[in-house]
Chains A and B, each alone.
Chain A
Amino acid sequence: MATITLLSAYLISIVALVFFIIAMIRGWFDSDGRGAEVIFAPNEIGTTDDPAASVEARKALQATLPVARAPDPKELEARAAADDSSRLLTFVFMGCSILWLLVVSATGLIASIKLHSPDWLGAYEWLTFGRIRTLHLNAMAYGFLSTAGFGIAFWLLPRLLKTTLRGERLALFGGVLWNAGLVAGMGAIAAGISDGLEWLEMPWQACILLVIGGAMMALPLVLTIKHRTVKHLYVSVWYMGAALFWFPTLFIVAKLPGVHFGVEQAAMNWWYGHSVLGLFFSPLAIATIYYFLPKVMGVPIKSYSLSVLGFWTLAFFYGQVGGHHLVGSPVPSWLITLSIVQSMMMIIPVVAFGVNQFYTMRGHMSMLVHSPTLRFMAFGGLMYLATSLQGSFEALRSMNTVVHFTHYTVAHAHLGLYAFVAMTFFGGMYFIMPRVMEREWPYPKLILWHFWLSAIGVTVYFVGLTIGGWLQGMAMLDAARPFMESVAVTLPYLKARSVGGGLMTLGHLVFATHFLLMVLKLGPARHAPATFYAPKGQTA
């Protein structure tokens, strides 16, 4: 049984690889471009678009391309109507996500400091490391990333499907339930009531609210897809649609009370734990990049076919990598081997994405100077490549033996969820909010501050903890060195992590303040209302 499963996994993987190679040779990935063009109105290609940039920056951005033509006004009107239909919903989700971001920052920073100053705030039970760290993770995953991801999806889908958003109120109510469930679940964790599985700590009773809320958010998406006026579903719709279906499936299977047991539960735990990254957060972020990157640049993505191949390979391989969290544990060894193989196979979709991004941006790198959105997106995309390749190699037994139980993994997780997903979402939010509020960001400099604080912060965090984690792992593997040495060796790096986390927190405070100023219509009204559809030359 085990051998057959393993063998078939190998075979399917190899068939996929062969398919990939044949497709490359046959030229299926040539830049046919048709599918890639659906995000543009007729004649819009060649027009750059970044509402987050200042007027001057927008002019400079456009100047990097040859003269733009005037896009079809009817289609732009339809797009404005699509934007209009999702305005309130997007605003509510973005607002929630920023509140959660502040919770994430505070809990993360407290947890980080506690790891090198363990007696700090030690008298408060709900702030003990084991709880505050868990609150940090849940606020990040189900708070900030989920609500920001939903918000971006609600805003993007009407645009991509060229229709108005349906069932908006249902989604709004779903969002309320989701947040209520999350508050209840996190309150339970703080009070010490936990289901005890990593990523799945919130008591299942609270999760019922998340499931119902999630379903109420999914239904409008289905309705919107049904009412679409485009024939072709752009690749971002694939990623987002699938992600929004995969997440509830994973979550329901994982939270079924009373079903899972012992070692099987561990296998399920990490199937969920890694799939929620790979089949929920990553696709949402990839979809975001696949829309905004070409949209800002006014250039369709280089190879549309490559992006679709990336989607199917990701869908196949990413659901099966979870076992690499259990190398050396007593789960069936075929399962671990299968997951290691599929982790390596993940190189295919990741490289497909990276190559595509590189060739789309080639020759247009100067746009990064002018467009804040693009800068966040490009950073996120690059970090997707980095974190995924690192992850593939971390799954290998030899590497896993050193780093698995150490802070190295924590650094890796932040490279993925923060440097890739969160930074991508920040970029999307900077683009979307001016359209939602019909007002520009009041202080463009603050966007720069946010970018650099976050980028430098996460770099300090990642580099520090990666080194610390590696040293910790090496110390632990040497039986001649007492265990406490593996603790002592990490201390300077744990402090570096707090510094990095502090910088990231500062960045988030800048972002939240800026957001608040924009919403309250404070600060200079530099250019209101922002009519970004103006053709080149006339910045309304």
Chain B
Amino acid sequence: MKADNLLITGAIVMIGIAGVALVGIPYIQLSDIKPPKGLKPYTSAQLRGREEYVSQGCLYCHSQQPRDKSQAPDADRGWGRAPVAGDYYYDKPHLLGTMRTGPDLFNIGARQPSIDWHLGHLYQPRAYVPGSIMPPYGFLFEVKDKADPGEHVVNLPPDFAPKDKVVVAQPRALDLVAYLTALNHTYPAVEAPDVQTR
């Protein structure tokens, strides 16, 4: 075989094997996975919030995949049980994450259901978590003299609230919090088998 033919054939075979193993087989194996009964599809506000999560790059510091008890004490930190593939049924794109510069968020909605906490924490993380290195997301809010009717005013600790002004959440911030508070995978991963009655 001529050298250039050998090269191109070899290169195709090698990447082919890798692609089949790491993409092809998982594709087939995972394509018939069904969502667990306890998992609800995202609402449109939550989906918009999820886009905001991607847009701000939250995934670069927060994972969404608690590890199993046998591997790490994630459950003891309140991050939840180890996930199963079905938990990610509605997730496009996947947001498993690779860093824990901040805590895992797979069950942040169960751990911290307060919308006000989330809004204030997004506005200035250090107002709620001293020593936090999370970026402030002030640009998702508006600082104005008086809130208009229907606007969500953020309650901030006095030290962090602007003087004589109010901070209101933009719709993007509310969507993001809708998504965060929806991150709740505390339902059982495996359904209890139906009781067979004779």
In the assembly, what is the distance between CA of A540 and CA of B174, in Å?
Answer: 72
> Chain B contacts of A329 at CB under 8 A?
65, 83, 96
The contact of A265 among B93, B129, B137, B138, by CB within 8 Å, is B93
Say whether B73 contacts A477, CB under 8 Å. Answer: yes
> Chain B contacts of A492 at CB under 8 A?
none
Say whether B4 contacts A487, CB under 8 Å. Answer: no
Say whether A262 contacts B10, CB under 8 Å. Answer: no
Closest beta carbon of chain B to A18's beta carbon, Å: 18
Closest beta carbon of chain B to A459's beta carbon, Å: 23
B:15-74 near A, CB below 8 Å: 15, 17-19, 21-23, 25-27, 29-31, 33, 54-61, 63, 65, 67-68, 71-73
The contact of B93 among A195, A404, A405, by CB within 8 Å, is A195
Is there a chain B Cβ closer than 8 Å to A198's Cβ? yes
Closest beta carbon of chain A to B87's beta carbon, Å: 7
Closest beta carbon of chain B to A455's beta carbon, Å: 27
The contact of A263 among B11, B77, B88, B137, by CB within 8 Å, is B88
In the assembly, what is the distance between CA of A339 and CA of B138, in Å?
Answer: 42
Is there a chain B Cβ closer than 8 Å to A401's Cβ? yes
Say whether, besides A114-B135, A115-B101, A332-B29, A320 and B21 are in contact (CB < 8 Å): yes
Say whether B23 contacts A238, CB under 8 Å. Answer: no
Is there a chain A Cβ closer than 8 Å to B139's Cβ? yes
Of A193, A332, A487, most B-chain CB atoms within 10 Å: A487
B:110-140 near A, CB below 8 Å: 125-126, 129-139
The contact of B125 among A118, A123, A263, A332, by CB within 8 Å, is A118
Say whether A233 contacts B71, CB under 8 Å. Answer: no
Say whether, besides A197-B93, A330-B88, A487-B132, A315 and B76 are in contact (CB < 8 Å): no
Is there a chain B Cβ closer than 8 Å to A328's Cβ? yes
Is there a chain B Cβ closer than 8 Å to A378's Cβ? no
Say whether, besides A130-B56, A192-B55, A479-B76, A5 and B21 are in contact (CB < 8 Å): yes
Say whether A316 contacts B17, CB under 8 Å. Answer: yes
In the assembly, what is the distance between CA of A165 and CA of B82, in Å?
Answer: 55
1/0 contact string of A399-420 vs chain B (CB within 8 Å): 0010011110110000000000
Is there a chain B Cβ closer than 8 Å to A225's Cβ? yes
In the assembly, what is the distance between CA of A491 and CA of B137, in Å?
Answer: 21
Say whether, besides A115-B101, A232-B3, A241-B7, A267 and B26 are in contact (CB < 8 Å): yes
Is there a chain A Cβ closer than 8 Å to B147's Cβ? no
B:88-105 near A, CB below 8 Å: 88-89, 91-103
Say whether B71 contacts A118, CB under 8 Å. Answer: no
Say whether B11 contacts A266, CB under 8 Å. Answer: no
Is there a chain A Cβ closer than 8 Å to B8's Cβ? yes
> Chain A contacts of B138 at CB under 8 A?
122-123
In the assembly, what is the distance between CA of A330 and CA of B129, in Å?
Answer: 30
Say whether A483 contacts B22, CB under 8 Å. Answer: no
> Chain B contacts of A478 at CB under 8 A?
73
In the assembly, what is the distance between CA of A453 and CA of B32, in Å?
Answer: 53
Say whether A233 contacts B22, CB under 8 Å. Answer: no
Say whether, besides A123-B138, A401-B71, A487-B101, A194 and B54 are in contact (CB < 8 Å): yes
> Chain A contacts of B61 at CB under 8 A?
129-130
Closest beta carbon of chain A to B170's beta carbon, Å: 11
Is there a chain B Cβ closer than 8 Å to A264's Cβ? yes
> Chain B contacts of A194 at CB under 8 A?
54-55, 57
Bin the interface of chain B by size.
Answer: 35 or more
Of B19, B95, B134, B137, most A-chain CB atoms within 10 Å: B19
Chain A, interface SS category: helix
Is there a chain B Cβ closer than 8 Å to A19's Cβ? no
The contact of B87 among A267, A316, A330, by CB within 8 Å, is A330
Say whether, besides A233-B3, A479-B73, A246 and B11 are in contact (CB < 8 Å): yes
User: Quick check: which of A92-100, A268-276, A436-444 contacts chain B, the rest being far away?
Assistant: A268-276
Closest beta carbon of chain B to A529's beta carbon, Å: 35
Say whether A312 contacts B11, CB under 8 Å. Answer: no
The contact of A119 among B27, B71, B77, B136, by CB within 8 Å, is B136
> Chain B contacts of A294 at CB under 8 A?
none
Closest beta carbon of chain B to A286's beta carbon, Å: 15
Say whether B55 contacts A193, CB under 8 Å. Answer: yes
> Chain A contacts of B14 at CB under 8 A?
312, 315-316, 319
Say whether, besides A128-B135, A265-B92, A279 and B67 are in contact (CB < 8 Å): no
In the assembly, what is the distance between CA of A315 and CA of B18, in Å?
Answer: 9
Say whether B26 contacts A335, CB under 8 Å. Answer: yes
Say whether B22 contacts A335, CB under 8 Å. Answer: yes
The contact of A128 among B56, B89, B130, by CB within 8 Å, is B56
Say whether A250 contacts B15, CB under 8 Å. Answer: yes
Closest beta carbon of chain B to A269's beta carbon, Å: 7
Is there a chain B Cβ closer than 8 Å to A28's Cβ? no
Say whether B4 contacts A338, CB under 8 Å. Answer: no
Say whether B23 contacts A330, CB under 8 Å. Answer: no
In the assembly, what is the distance between CA of A332 and CA of B26, in Å?
Answer: 7
In the assembly, what is the distance between CA of A401 and CA of B71, in Å?
Answer: 7
In the assembly, what is the distance between CA of A279 and CA of B65, in Å?
Answer: 28
In the assembly, what is the distance between CA of A196 and CA of B72, in Å?
Answer: 27
> Chain B contacts of A238 at CB under 8 A?
7
A:223-249 near B, CB below 8 Å: 225, 232-233, 237-238, 241-242, 245-246, 249
Say whether B68 contacts A264, CB under 8 Å. Answer: no
Say whether A128 contacts B137, CB under 8 Å. Answer: yes
> Chain B contacts of A263 at CB under 8 A?
26, 30, 33, 85, 88, 94, 96
Interface, chain A (partner B; CB < 8 A): 1-2, 5, 9, 114-116, 118-119, 122-125, 128-131, 133-134, 192-198, 225, 232-233, 237-238, 241-242, 245-246, 249-250, 253, 260-271, 275, 279, 312, 315-316, 319-320, 322-323, 325-326, 328-332, 335, 338-339, 397, 401, 404-407, 409-410, 476-479, 483-484, 486-488, 491, 494
* CB-defined A-B contacts under 8 Å, sample of 13: A118-B125, A123-B138, A128-B56, A241-B8, A245-B11, A265-B93, A312-B14, A319-B15, A405-B63, A406-B100, A476-B72, A484-B132, A486-B100
Interface, chain B (partner A; CB < 8 A): 3-4, 7-8, 10-12, 14-15, 17-19, 21-23, 25-27, 29-31, 33, 54-61, 63, 65, 67-68, 71-73, 76-77, 82-85, 87-89, 91-103, 125-126, 129-139
Q: Which 9 A-B pairs have the closest CB atoms?
A: A130-B57, A319-B18, A479-B73, A405-B100, A192-B55, A271-B22, A196-B93, A196-B54, A479-B76
